[in-house]
């Protein structure tokens, strides 16, 4: 039975250009710029200095803060700078710039013992040391999700394989080509979180991935593959939990408050790979797509590779009108191609003018289409209007902070009102006041 959630939209999915293209390893670039913040939480401090020689997989940044994750070098070579560099989040972040010596000289690796020989604490510590963070775009340090606060009882790990954003096919290829790692990674996460049940939610437009994971998980009765309707934002955590487990996350609460740890399927694969090989999180798969791309594809790239290097490697047919990190619904438009791929970069879209046309906003015609599609059952038109008028208390009363910024309301608005953008402003104002 195909499961889903209330509300949502059906944008053109535009995955045909890359969904059948196998993962290709991109040649490493001459230089990588590795941001010391690739996660939600505290920035890492550099552990190396300009002039140092570093090995591939060597830890180059860490923090003692509980919500953080170390970063590692994705090449061997010489540190040429530690400086502010553009980041996919739109700001600049202190980054370690390394000139690649193309030796790929790896730091001494320590593969983990078998899963049966590891305790939950050891698994969580190994996941932290490998620098694993949410690879679906969120970037929350994975180890921190596995240690719930006192009084919270977890009973399930849910892997997100929905990949509902148009264009992106990264998770699809990871599930199809590395299904054994995805299932092993899920088992590791289940043991680390001390839960008995594991789920993988996948939209039914990826039947080959569903079959591959069902075959891989057939010997584990505690793991269930859940077929999901093709609908945006099926991959948003709250909607995924609702669809797969029928649990509602209350306003202001997190998935862990309904007993669930949600991780992306690529995160699970990265956990498995780091435990099997000892290689930390230094590369990831990204979808490169959009009408401007000469050769779209799914690329395995080193963390710290700049978007400019990737665009040059795959070739451009035309100058991108808009360059997006992530998908077109929740991704962020880039002001520079000098930003580097982080552990949570799921794709790069080089969109042509006809794919990314800016539309002139009109006046609200009270059609309520935005209300119909909101997966959080909000009234986007009211919240946005209050935000626009600076009435943030009223926006808060109408549940602005529950908005997941999915963009569905903006997408359906017939008069092109930038509802999500107004609500996002309200949220940042409300959070700033709370702080």
* Residues lying near ligand SF4 in the complex (CB under 6 A): 364-370, 373-376, 378, 380-381, 403-409, 412-415, 417, 419-420, 423
CA 9-15-18 angle, to 5 degrees, is: 165
- Tell me how far CA of residue 292 lies from CA of 54, 97, 315, in angstroms: 36, 28, 9
Q: CB of 421: closest distance to ligand SF4 in angstroms?
A: 9
Reading the block at residue 311, the tokens are 């665009």
Which of 60, 373 has the CB closer to ligand SF4? 373
Rg (CA), the chain: 21
Question: Residue 263: phi, psi to the nearest 5?
Answer: -135, 155
Which of 204, 415 has the CB closer to ligand SF4? 415
Q: CB of 262: closest distance to ligand SF4 in angstroms?
A: 17
Which of 234, 420 has the CB closer to ligand SF4? 420
Q: CB of 408: closest distance to ligand SF4 in angstroms?
A: 4
Q: CB of 378: closest distance to ligand SF4 in angstroms?
A: 5
Q: CB of 4: closest distance to ligand SF4 in angstroms?
A: 15
Tell me the C-alpha distance between 106 and 279, whole Å.
9
Taking each helix axis from N to C end, the angle separating 179-193 and 207-216, rounded to the nearest 10 degrees, works out to 60
Tell me the C-alpha distance between 380 and 371, whole Å.
6
Q: CB of 399: closest distance to ligand SF4 in angstroms?
A: 9
Tell me the C-alpha distance between 223 and 158, whole Å.
10
Question: In angstroms, how far is CA 65 from the centroid of its own chain?
Answer: 22
Tell me the C-alpha distance between 79 and 220, whole Å.
46
Which of 250, 315 has the CB closer to ligand SF4? 250
Residue 205 burial (C-beta neighbours within 10 Å; 0-12, 13-18, 19+): middle
Q: CB of 38: closest distance to ligand SF4 in angstroms?
A: 25
Q: CB of 430: closest distance to ligand SF4 in angstroms?
A: 14
Nearest to 273 by CA among 158, 180, 197: 180
Report yes or no: 408 and 375 within 8 Å, Cβ to Cβ.
yes
Contacts of residue 397, defined as CB under 8 A and 6 or more positions apart, other chains included, come to none
Which of 279, 387 has the CB closer to ligand SF4? 387
Which of 339, 384 has the CB closer to ligand SF4? 384
Nearest to 99 by CA among 30, 53, 48: 30
Reading the block at residue 82, the tokens are 């530690």
Taking each helix axis from N to C end, the angle separating 170-177 and 265-277, rounded to the nearest 10 degrees, works out to 50
Q: CB of 370: closest distance to ligand SF4 in angstroms?
A: 3
């Amino acid at each position: 039975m195909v499961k889903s959630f209330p509300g949502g939209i059906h944008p053109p999915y535009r995955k045909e250009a890359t969904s059948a293209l196998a993962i290709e390893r991109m040649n490493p670039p001459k230089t990588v710029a590795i941001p010391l913040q690739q996660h939600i939480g505290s920035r890492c401090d550099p552990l190396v200095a300009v002039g140092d020689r570093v090995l591939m997989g060597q830890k180059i940044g860490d923090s003692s803060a509980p919500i953080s994750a170390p970063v590692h070098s994705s090449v061997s070579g010489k540190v040429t700078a530690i400086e502010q560099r553009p980041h996919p989040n739109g700001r600049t972040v202190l980054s370690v710039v390394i000139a690649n010596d193309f030796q790929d000289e790896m730091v001494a690796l320590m593969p983990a013992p078998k899963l049966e020989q590891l305790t939950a604490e050891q698994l969580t510590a190994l996941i932290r040391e490998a620098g694993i963070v949410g690879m679906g775009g969120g970037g929350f340090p994975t180890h921190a999700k596995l240690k719930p606060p006192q009084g919270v009882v977890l009973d399930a790990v849910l892997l997100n394989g929905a990949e509902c954003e148009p264009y992106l096919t990264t998770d699809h290829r990871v599930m199809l080509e590395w299904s054994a790692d995805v299932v092993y990674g899920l088992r590791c996460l289940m043991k680390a979180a001390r839960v008995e049940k594991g789920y993988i939610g996948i939209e039914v437009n990826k039947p080959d991935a569903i079959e591959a994971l069902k075959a891989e998980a057939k010997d584990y009765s505690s793991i269930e593959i859940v077929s999901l309707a093709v609908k945006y934002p099926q991959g948003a955590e709250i909607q995924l939990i609702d669809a797969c487990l029928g649990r509602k996350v209350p306003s202001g609460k997190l998935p862990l408050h309904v007993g669930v740890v949600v991780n992306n399927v690529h995160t699970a694969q990265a956990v498995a790979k780091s435990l099997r090989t000892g290689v930390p999180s230094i590369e990831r798969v990204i979808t490169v797509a959009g009408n401007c791309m000469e050769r779209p594809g799914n690329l395995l790239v080193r963390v710290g590779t700049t978007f400019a290097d990737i665009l040059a490697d795959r070739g451009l047919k035309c100058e991108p009108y808009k360059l997006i990190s992530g998908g077109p619904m929740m991704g962020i438009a880039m002001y520079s191609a000098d930003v580097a791929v982080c552990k949570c970069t799921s794709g790069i879209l080089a969109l042509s003018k006809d794919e990314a046309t800016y539309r002139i906003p009109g006046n609200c015609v009270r059609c309520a289409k935005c209300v119909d599609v909101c997966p959080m059952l909000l009234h986007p038109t009211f919240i946005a209007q209050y935000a626009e008028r600076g009435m943030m208390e009223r926006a808060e009363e109408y549940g602005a902070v529950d908005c997941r910024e999915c963009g569905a309301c903006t997408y359906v608005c017939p008069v092109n009102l930038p509802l999500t953008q107004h609500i996002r402003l309200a949220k940042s104002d409300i959070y700033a006041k709370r702080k």
